[in-house]
Structure 1
């Protein structure tokens, strides 16, 4: 599993201070990596005495937890005692009422993922490649046409929402409303949301549920070539189908997750290139590195920084007993910079190999849209470097006040068209 000692070079109380700074402090939100390093080196498997939650920052142990069938989503809030009792109960209820694979354990998860994956195949995704270029080029025209532009709004949001909108079957005119709705709904997967944020998440989920109930009804009457129509039509050998609530909840999950995390991948990845101009030049000179560059962006500034599990039965983590019902938080951002796995982990290297970050999770909950996200990254960064001879940061960006999902509030840049390229 790992040769690193899990006993700890810092006390449990000191480790708690680091964890709380990561999850709620301004320093942790802006730059969690020095804090991750301190926790990983000082107490890589930390049983928090103040919350009852376990925190894992070691790559090997995190991967084991995510893969181990004894750990799952469980019945309550995955963050347990990190939030106050009322917030934790509401969060748990929201998870229990969801009818999608994200919050399900086997056998429900096995059934739901098996049905949905039939319509969300790598082949279906790969067939989108030419269409992705058609979708991204007009957005890059906006970057080329303005003196200065917010790349996060102009490209990082609009490109993935157009892609997943076409794939799922959400009409173009309806898509913009989901930016604020999906952003609000992510409070239910944050470590310690406020009661107000969770109430807003519940309202947003209600609005999205109403919308997709209506869209499902429309697709039943008039099937299309989209994913929603395919999910409605799917039936396995035993006659099993997705129920109405499962269809709606799964559509919300696929659509929301399909652009929220990819928006962060594009924003975070662009910032990585801007802050490492030697690596941008290297990638520009050798486009064959695009796929490995996207993987390095995922590792270096993961759009998802943590993933939580609950012990479904009494289990062990790094040889230590964990009682059933205990929440275990894996810090993916810390694991992705584990020096026992990644040479010079704090160096951004677009040609890094081998490179197997945990950014899409691991085990049965490995992200179903991972292939699509990688493909979108490959296309957008490839076209961006083709179109622009230079991209400059116009102002220092600010990180969002969230930790589960790491992304920027905005990314203002200016770009210079490459010679011979039409504006």
Structure 2
């Protein structure tokens, strides 16, 4: 049974310390190997890092997502949504959400989104290089996805993107108080914006969702707010994280250029496994709980460390390197259990769409930074910036991600 006496060795940075935030994987590997259900003396939380333990946790009602969100460092309650509910309440809120981001909604925007991706790449090609692929590709792609779902006109995209950027601070459970206050104010502004927009939306998945009738007005707005907070920045950052792994590997770019939609989705799954923007999810135990790796008492704050589970060698062969045709790939980048991300298919297809088009249009695209830097943030997992030379003319000597000591 896990005890509080277990500590990380002196030479390994704690994953929440500044150095550990930049490169948490040595700590994750040590914990997963030596203490997969770990009582962390630094934070007082339990860090669950093994794949078997995380999958069991995500399915076990003893681990409350609603209570986990109430432990966030903020002065107000989060809006009612799937994120802040459990059991039957969660199921009731989740069911209408299929109309907003489920398979039919994803199919309905596919053609328009392909047009958006092509326009993004056409604009990028005019300059020959990107100073930051997240800002110039990932962010507008995320905006385009939500604009298609919400029925936003072209002139509405820029104001909406400003709102989405402002509310994204709510992703960080440990945001400094001044920043957290700005995030709360932005959330109120976004809610008012959506409240005004939902009744005049053009035909779109949003109109189908709003017409469902199973949610109160406030519940509907809470679910829409969650779609923005939980979807916009993670989708944007997933593009930068994916390019970090993809572009230094010519064989991977060549394979993706000829891949069909399903093969491109398989590659996107592998990229998400390696570097998910949401590296963990919070729970609180409502009773004593038994996991394969140990027991956790009632009332404990728990983090399911999805990024650690996604590199568990018991499940993933060669876990720190990309295997582009890995199948099956039961990664936890979208969580698992009842709270599995409702928009997983949408995110997977959107990313695969842009990346496959990018390598076809710019077959020599390369990173301009020899060693891109990871930001010292907890959520989302992201790069400080990611320069891309679309012509490949200024390719630097770089270390392949996944090689020894690749995470600087």
Q: Would the aligned equivalents of 1:94 and 1:202 in 2 still touch at CA under 8 Å?
A: no
In the other structure, the counterpart of 2:80 is 99
In the other structure, the counterpart of 1:421 is none
In the other structure, the counterpart of 1:394 is 368
In the other structure, the counterpart of 2:21 is 29
In the TM superposition, 1:198-217 aligns within 5 A as 198-216=180-198
For 1:178 and 1:21, locate their aligned partners in 2 and report how far apart those are by CA, in whole Å.
37
1:415 and 2:390 aligned: yes
SS of equivalent to 1:74? helix
For 1:319 and 1:42, locate their aligned partners in 2 and report how far apart those are by CA, in whole Å.
10
1:303 and 2:297 aligned: no
Deviations 1:243-269 (A, max 9, x none): 221122211222333322111221111
SS of equivalent to 1:225? coil
Deviations 1:26-45 (A, max 9, x none): x2232222221122112211
Q: Would the aligned equivalents of 1:165 and 1:255 in 2 still touch at CA under 8 Å?
A: no
Q: Would the aligned equivalents of 1:61 and 1:318 in 2 still touch at CA under 8 Å?
A: yes
Structure 1 residue 361: deviation in Å?
0.3
For 1:303 and 1:178, locate their aligned partners in 2 and report how far apart those are by CA, in whole Å.
21
Q: Would the aligned equivalents of 2:367 and 2:387 in 1 still touch at CA under 8 Å?
A: yes
For 2:345 and 2:224, locate their aligned partners in 1 and report how far apart those are by CA, in whole Å.
18
Change (3 A) 1:207 1:278: same
In the other structure, the counterpart of 2:50 is 58
Structure 1 residue 114: deviation in Å?
1.4
Farther off after superposition, 48-57 or 356-365: 48-57
For 1:224 and 1:286, locate their aligned partners in 2 and report how far apart those are by CA, in whole Å.
34
- Once superposed, which parts of structure 1, at least 4 consecutive aligned residues long, lie more than 6 Å away? none
Deviations 1:84-130 (A, max 9, x none): xxxx352xx333xx121111112221111112224433123123222
In the TM superposition, 1:61-100 aligns within 5 A as 61-75=53-67, 77=69, 79=71, 88=73, 90=75, 93-95=76-78, 98-100=79-81
In the other structure, the counterpart of 1:230 is 208
Deviations 1:337-367 (A, max 9, x none): 0000001101112112221100000011100
In the other structure, the counterpart of 2:405 is none
Q: Would the aligned equivalents of 2:67 and 2:283 in 1 still touch at CA under 8 Å?
A: no
Match of 1:131 among 92, 100, 112: 112
SS of equivalent to 2:391? strand
In the other structure, the counterpart of 1:242 is 215
Change (3 A) 1:144 1:118: closer
Structure 1 residue 381: deviation in Å?
1.4
For 2:32 and 2:105, locate their aligned partners in 1 and report how far apart those are by CA, in whole Å.
40
Q: Would the aligned equivalents of 2:282 and 2:303 in 1 still touch at CA under 8 Å?
A: yes
| TM-score normalised by structure 1 residue count | 0.84
SS of equivalent to 1:310? strand
SS of equivalent to 1:94? coil
Deviations 1:253-301 (A, max 9, x none): 2233332211122111111112333322333354563121101001011
For 1:113 and 1:310, locate their aligned partners in 2 and report how far apart those are by CA, in whole Å.
21
1:121 and 2:121 aligned: no
Structure 1: 5+ residue stretches without partners = 1-5, 81-87, 236-240, 418-423
Q: Would the aligned equivalents of 1:162 and 1:172 in 2 still touch at CA under 8 Å?
A: no
Change (3 A) 1:254 1:15: farther
Alignment RMSD: 2.5
1:112 and 2:112 aligned: no
In the other structure, the counterpart of 1:173 is 155
1:406 and 2:384 aligned: no
Change (3 A) 1:13 1:164: same
SS of equivalent to 2:66? coil
Q: Would the aligned equivalents of 1:45 and 1:57 in 2 still touch at CA under 8 Å?
A: yes
Farther off after superposition, 54-63 or 120-129: 120-129
For 2:152 and 2:59, locate their aligned partners in 1 and report how far apart those are by CA, in whole Å.
33
1:382 and 2:365 aligned: no
In the other structure, the counterpart of 1:3 is none
SS of equivalent to 2:365? strand
In the other structure, the counterpart of 2:342 is 368
